[in-house]
Structure formats: C-alpha cells, structure tokens
Amino acid sequence: MTAAVLQAPAQKRAPKRVLPGFRLTLGYTLFYLALIVLLPLTALIFKTFTLTWDQFVSAVASPRVIASYQLTFGASFLAALFNAFFGLLVAWVLVRYQFPGKRIIDALVDLPFALPTAVAGISLTALLAGNGWIGSLLEPYGIQLAFNRNGVVIALIFIGLPFVVRTVQPVLEDAEKELEEAATCLGATRWQTFRYVIFPTIAPALLTGFAMAFARGVGEYGSVIFIAGNMPMISEITPLIIIGKLEQYDYAGATAVATVMLLASFVMLMVINALQAWQRKRGGA
C-alpha cells in the first residue's frame, strides 16, 4: 500500500489566486451591473410602455422635442469636430515638444473632468455674457456667444476636449519615430509624412476620441443650462426637456424622451466599441 502511494505521480496543486475564483467574481459582477445599470434602465423602459403608441410618438416627436434633438445632436457633433482638430494639436504639442510649464498645461487638460459642470457653465457665462470680460468686447460688433446656440457649442467644446487629447496622446507616444525618419530620408515632406505615416496610426484613436466627445456632449446638462438661454425651439437641449417634463409630473413623457436618448447612447457605445476594436486590431497588426 505504501509502495503504491510512493509510486503514484504527485498531483499538481492548483496555483493560489489572490482574488476569488472566476465563478464568484463573475457572480458579483453580474449582480452589481444588474443592480446599478440594468435595473434602472429596465424601470425606464417599463415606464415608457405605459404609454400607447400615439402617446409615445406625441411625446418624442413634438416640434419642441424635435428642435431639442437637432440642437443637442448638432451642437455635440460640431463640438466633437472642433475638439478632434484642436485636441489633436494639443496632444501633438504635449508629446512632441518640451517647454516650460508643460506639466501645468498637461494637468489643465483634465480640468473639465474634475470641475463640476455647473461651475463650468457659470464660469463660461461670466466670461461670454454681454457684461463679461470677453462678451463685452465682442458685443459691440454684434457677436453674441452666450444665451444662444453658440453658447451650447462652446460649453460642449469645453467639456469634450479632454476625451480627444487623452485618447490620442498615448498613441502618439507609442508611435514609431523610425518610420517618420525613414520617410524623411526617402524625400517625403512634413505634410506627406504626417498624412501617410503618422495619421493612419492615430486615426482610430482620433475617431474614438471624437465619438467619446460626441457621446459626452449629447448627455451634458449642467454646463449648458447656464449659458444656453434655454429658449424653446431655439436653445433648449433635450436633457432640459426631460427635466421640464419631470417638473410637470409627466413621468411617462420624460421616460419616453429618455428612452430615445438611451437608444442613441447605445448606438454611440457600439460605435465606440467598434472603433476601439479596430484600433486594437491595427495595433496588433
């Protein structure tokens, strides 16, 4: 009996893990997501189902709501385009150049992340209103940046810039400079080097940053309401429509409009995930 035990091959012990096993962690993950994410979204959808189809269409497709869709998505798209261009410039300067105060500027890029959105809206209004530092200089020329659609775009530019910079910056840092040097040695100009060597490398990250800034702008509320003017059919954003319906105790109408925004958010999330998968695929290749 003893000899048989000695001759039996020693069983390998499973390596000890610092964290609990897969089943336990997966269970906690699913429970947490269901409690924090799925349950509120399910309540939102079920509340919307209390409306008939005609009531739903009337709630989400009234002229005032349609105008808010156009402003919200249009301003978010313009702000994301602006941030895609200037965010790329900021990321390029932070990665490729050394200058005094670089760390301070790099930290200021993250300021919209840490700053409460209401504070951002009040600050922009104080600067751009007719009696503000910048607005008072532009108003004599007929240029108004506050309390209209221009203010909405400016507020969305402010809160969306970090998404582009922080998405493009690490890709620029990891870019192979040898390829740029090889292109220069072969006679390529700076523009040709950027167009054919650098831009294809950073394009997926730039598109991802654009999509994230666009998605952030669609759901923004706090920084916009102070500078938009909130005039129906002119400068009223969709989140404000939802708040207004809630204040009127029209919960079903508010959830109907919120459901439309939820569907738009899902579409944008799918686009962002597809862009990130494309970026990883290009990086692996």
DSSP category for residue 142: T
- Contact predicate 87/207, CB 8 Å: no
* 67-126 pLDDT, tens digit each: 999 999 999 999 999 999 999 999 999 998 898 989 999 999 999 988 888 898 999 999
One-character DSSP codes across 213-265: HHHHHHT--HHHHHHH---TTTS--HHHHHHHHHHTT-HHHHHHHHHHHHHHH
- Domain 38-284: assigned CATH number: 1.10.3720.10
Instruction: Give domain limits for the chain.
Output: 38-284
Structure-block tokens of residue 75: 């301003």
* 237-263 pLDDT, tens digit each: 999 999 999 999 999 999 999 999 888
Structure-block tokens of residue 13: 């012990």
Give dist(CA 232, CA 118) in Å, integer: 21
Q: pTM for this structure?
A: 0.83
Give dist(CA 162, CA 87) in Å, integer: 8
Give dist(CA 20, CA 15) in Å, integer: 12
- Contact predicate 211/81, CB 8 Å: no
Structure-block tokens of residue 189: 């100009």
* 147-170 pLDDT, tens digit each: 999 999 999 999 999 999 999 999
Structure-block tokens of residue 10: 């020693």
Give dist(CA 43, CA 35) in Å, integer: 11
